[in-house]
Structure 1
Amino acid sequence: MESVVTAKENPIWQDPRAIALLMAASLTTMANATISPALPGLERLFAGDPNAAMLTRLLVPAPSLSVALCAPFAGIVADRFGRRAMLLAGVILFVIAGCAGLVLPDLPSIFASRLVLGVAVAFIMTAQTALIGDYFSGDDRNALTGLQISARNFGGLIFISLAGWVASISPRLPFAIYGLAAIFLPLMWLVITDPPRSAPVIGGRPMNGHDGHPSWRALLALLVLLQAATNMIFFLMPTQISFFLEMQGYESAVMTGMVLGMLMISGGCFALLYRRIQRAIDYPGIFTLGYAAMAIGFALLPFAAAAPALFTAALLIGAGYALVSPSFIAIALNLAPPSSRGLAGGILTASIFIGQFCSPLISTPLIAAHGYRGLFWNTALLLAAMAIAAGLAAGVKSMGKKG
């Protein structure tokens, strides 16, 4: 029987399944943002379309809508029919739908292919999250949830940088980057297997009767709401920062690229440290530290006239988000029974993209009413309140252990 991996039995860096799952994680950031540098060129290429301006701007968020709608259903299917087939099908569909923009004749058909790409991402993220819970436990599970955030950040940095270079040659070429996912398929095909349906084994002992936390559904619902809110806040950076910087007199395209690059690098580096930090201060401490860092970062943004304050803000926001994000997955996998990990992963995946999709819808009216500075200050206050609440939870937990 296949057992859940423990740190002593098989170090995570030596497990090819972990490498395959990190490859899958690196694809998720690629889905939306890879074609961003090509949008002006695509608008010019299809200038004859009367809706070109609107459709080109919808190409980036289109996959998010599909993920939000499909991921919970993908989770149900993964629990019933297995994770392996869903992951492999998702990667194949990712390659086909992603590369379709190379040959499709018009913007409406490219937009449709982006919606299909979102279905592929829903398959990949849902299956990957469930497999992390199936294959790993304890410190290794925490390590892998942190490493997948690093994979998303560094993968996004590489793919977006590559897209910027090839977009200068042709606005269609960034679609070819999605074909790189095909390189990952052979390893996934060889090492990803569905776990046995019987009780999982940890440390050589079967976990008979492991049905998850008695209130796992209610706790998962709270976790989903918190993750959606966290992603809605974080997504203020890629959706609003360029407009804010333009108001500050910066060359917005150049400075936005630098700020978002720092955001990804900071997030990728701090996610690598996630397991050590979580082991030292536990989940409430992680949320306290992460939300506090994000609060300070947003509080610094109104002082963006000074470049050091702007860069420090980006580093803090990226670090804080990278610390809290893995905890949502780790806690959800600990709460849910093995038979429902696909559902839990699907709902968590949907909440990420719902938060991203709602972010500009909620922030734009707030900017109209209070300006960018008001938005950033109020966001900082909200994050500070979230950090204080997490700190109180940490104190209660510490007192409970002493008692």
Structure 2
Amino acid sequence: MSKKIEISLLLIATMGVMSGITIVASLPLISKTFSEIPNIEFLSKMMLTIPSIIIAISAPIAGILVDKYGRLKPLYAGMALFVIGGSSGFYLDNFYYILMGRAILGISVALLMTSSTALIGDYFDEEQRHRFMSMQGMSIAIGGIVFITMGGLLAEWDWSYPFVVYALPILFIPLMIGALYEPKVHKHTQTESSMDGSLLSVYITAFFSMVLFYMLPTQLPYLIINSMHGDPKTIGFVISIAMVFNAITARQYSRLKRRFSYMQIYIFTFAIFSIGLFIISQADGISQLFYSTLFIGMGFGLIFVNTNSWFLSKVPPQKRGKASGVLASSFFLGQFSSPLIFQPIVDRYGIQGLFLIISIVAISLSIVLLIKDLKIDKHQRRESE
């Protein structure tokens, strides 16, 4: 397979992570700039999560368009909408218009995700696909580090400058036009429309995992800026370091899985995640936040890989396409719901109070799963005797 094709698809993959975290460092500055708007702190957080709900809603429609019109037309339409909607914060000065631009960004990502995923299935055989998905995971992690850092540095000059990053895909287009081609045969299979009830626990886990993950980009910037008097650059560095540990830990997942069950990995994951949240809840300075990044990064480096692996172990091949769509919707609905769920707690107890409460929830969940795992292990030993 052509290296240009692989590079093109990897660049598209980085656009997914670019859509979410590039403007994280700007959120507190946006809320100050538009401080005359009621509930602006909450609304500015929604600027980060509105694309998620739009993706969850529009992805099935995007899939229909990809089937009907081919892969490349929706892909290039998504590229155009990505640049227009994503960069809207740079050339617009009305908060609600920028919010509309974020919704357009969500539509664009839905088009990009569905068309690029279809192209991966069309271009690669099974063995090639496994190798490519490995590269894609690393590219997404590296992209996350680059874009969150870039956004933090640009926000130092002005809150609107990180939105310029969304125009970068213009540079990708010449490579894509020269490399990508419309497959002659689309490899689609019809799947059952009903959701397998046995996967419900996976979908719930995916939803709440993303709710917890989005505490970091939606809550931590306000703690750093408003309570610890930090700057946007610091926000980018803290989250980037967490993502470094995320990538390193995810690479070790296969080794862990050979020794531990899915439940045992969840036990460990929620325990170390709880430690990271507790450190944040007790921090009285920015330097202490960096200690939490090891535990936060490790936790999320495992939880998403473990959830996806658990999902693939349960879903039958003939339902994998439809079920994967539901799984994606679960993740993106979790992103959207995170600030909605946690804002009442923040209003009552503050951001550090929120981190303390969720750290208690996480360690409690770890203990419950540990007790359940011990009971299962004890039952299995009795049966083997």
Report the TM-score, using the length of structure 1 for normalisation. Answer: 0.72
Count of residue correspondences: 377
Answer 1 or 2: higher relative contact order, Cα 8 Å, separation at least 6: 1
2:84 aligned partner: 96
2:218 corresponding residue in structure 1? 239
What is the CA–CA distance in structure 1 between the aligned matches of 2:363 and 2:65, rounded to whole Å? Answer: 39
Superposed CA deviations along residues 303-336 of structure 1, whole A, max 9, x for unmatched, are: 3137665322222112211212133334445555
Give the counterpart letter for 2:103 in structure 1: L
Q: Which of 169, 177, 182 is the matching residue for 2:165?
A: 177
What is the aligned-residue identity percentage?
Answer: 29
Find the partner of 1:344 among 317, 323, 326.
323
Q: Within the alignment, does 1:290 sit opposite 2:278 as a pair?
A: no
The answer on 1:274 being equivalent to 2:274 is: no
Which amino acid is 2:213 matched to?
F
- Describe the superposition over 1:173-232 as per-residue Cα deviations: whole angstroms up to 9, x where unpaired: 433322222344455553576575378xxxxxxxxxx979xx962233332221110111
> Partner amino acid for 2:151?
A
CA contact (8 A) 1:79 1:342 kept: no
The answer to whether the Cα contact below 8 Å between 2:85 and 2:104 also exists between their aligned partners in 1 is: yes
1:151-170 paired onto structure 2 within 5 Å: 151-167=139-155
**Normalization by structure 2: what TM-score?**
0.75
Match of 2:290 in 1: 311
The two structures, once aligned, show a CA RMSD in angstroms of: 4.4
- Aligned counterpart for 1:382 among listed residues 323, 344, 361: 361
- Output the CA distance in 2 between the equivalents of 1:184 and 1:367: 40
Q: Does the CA contact (< 8 Å) of 1:68 and 1:349 recur in 2? A: yes
Cα distance in 2 between the residues matched to 1:232 and 1:109 = 26
Q: 1:276 to 1:219 in 2, by over 3 A?
A: same
Comparing 14-23 and 116-125, the one that deviates more:
14-23
The partner residue of 1:69 within 45, 57, 82 is 57
CA distances 1:40-83 after superposition (whole Å, capped 9, x unpaired): 77789889x97895776653333223123223443455567765
Of residues 345, 368, 371 in structure 2, which corresponds to 1:366?
345
CA contact (8 A) 1:145 1:330 kept: no
Deviation (angstroms), 1:124 = 2.5
Residue ranges of structure 1 left out of the alignment (5+ in a row): 1-9, 200-209
Equivalent residues in 2 for 1:69-88, closer than 5 Å: 69-75=57-63, 78=66, 86-88=74-76
Q: Which residue identity does 2:106 align to in structure 1?
A: G
Query: Structure 2 residue aligned with 1:227, among 206, 213, 229?
Result: 206
C-alpha displacement of 1:133: 6.8
Q: Distance in 2 between matches of 1:51 and 1:369?
A: 18
Residues 228 and 352 of structure 1 are in contact (CA less than 8 Å); yes or no, is this contact kept in structure 2?
Answer: yes
Structure 2, unaligned stretches of length 5 or more?
A: none
Cα 1:292/1:50, change in 2 over 3 Å: closer
Summarize the Cα distance change of 1:235–1:101 in structure 2 as closer, same or farther, 3 Å threshold. Answer: closer
Matches within 5 A, 1:138-149: 141=130, 148-149=136-137
1:228–1:351: 8 Å Cα contact kept in structure 2? yes
After TM superposition, list the pairs within 5 Å mapping 1:253-268 onto structure 2: 253=232, 255-268=234-247
**Alignment deviations for residues 78-121 of structure 1 (CA, whole Å, 9 cap, x no partner):** 56776565444433432233244554574443332221111111
Give matches, 1:209-224, under 5 Å.
Answer: 217-224=196-203
Deviates more, 1:159-168 or 1:221-230: 159-168
Is the alpha carbon distance of 1:39 and 1:125 closer, same or farther for their aligned partners in structure 2, counting shifts above 3 Å? Answer: same
Amino acid in the other structure paired with 1:384: I
Structure-2 separation of matches of 1:290 and 1:344: 24
Match of 1:26 among 14, 17, 25: 14
Q: Distance in 2 between matches of 1:152 and 1:123?
A: 18
Aligned partner of 1:197 among 167, 187, 212: 187
1:123 aligns to 2:102 (yes or no): no
Pair 1:224–1:145, CA change in 2 (3 A): farther
Counterpart-to-counterpart distance in 1, 2:367 and 2:3: 38
